[in-house]
Copies of this chain bind each other. A is one copy, B any other.
Amino acid sequence: MSEFRLRTLELIDAGRQLYQMGLVPATSGNLSARMSDGTLAVTVSGRHKGKLCEDDIMQVTATGQSLDDRRPSAECLLHVQIYNRIPDARVVLHPHSINATLLSRLRDGALVLQDYELLKAFPGIDTHHCEVRVPIFNNCQDIAHLAAEVDAGLSGKEPGYLIRGHGFYTWGNTVEDALRHVEAFEFLFECEMRLTGLKQ
């Protein structure tokens, strides 16, 4: 099987799993994988990420230029920025979750996570006794501008980031790694939302 087809099937299955978790409602969210030649497999714009078929994944250059006549997901440049910035990232997932949407509106600048055992699901973290800072960027429809803001605001050590009122981005070396980060983030976001409610 071609590398493109293999990545395509992985992304279709990842989308199905994200949808079952309620993380890609309507046609929100987008998914991509970096191939060995540097090109990307990415979702076609406007498709339902929970019900993807092979025709819904397209190939773009390392800079996000379409290699056929179709248009990739609007946020394709955000995927490109991550691949450029994080050498180990070979899969990028952008879930559009309720918890991420709300927390990114309720917090300023960053969400700080600490004293959760599940933080160990993120790379390089081996104790709950630490602080993980998840940057929050203001939403913007000019994706090139937003990508530049993200590039300036990322330290490169974060396991992901939030876009205000929009959702979050996370990545991994494999689709399993990226999905593990999604599950960990959603768990932690839900914990933070509930604690915020109790702090009223």
Number of A residues contacting the other chain (C-beta, 8 Å)? Answer: 43
**A117 and B184 in contact, given A127-B141, A128-B139, A197-B197 (Cβ under 8 angstroms):** no
Contacts A25-B184, A48-B180 given; does A165 touch B117 at CB 8 Å: yes
**B195 engages A198 (CB within 8 Å):** no
Within the oligomer, what is the number of copies of this chain?
4
Answer whether residue A173 sits at the interface, using C-beta atoms and an 8 A cutoff: no
- From A4-12, A78-86, A147-155, A185-193, give the one contacting chain B: A185-193
Residue of B nearest to A139 (CB): B128
A158 is an interface residue with CB less than 8 A from chain B = no
Report the bound CA distance from A147 to B80 in whole Å: 46
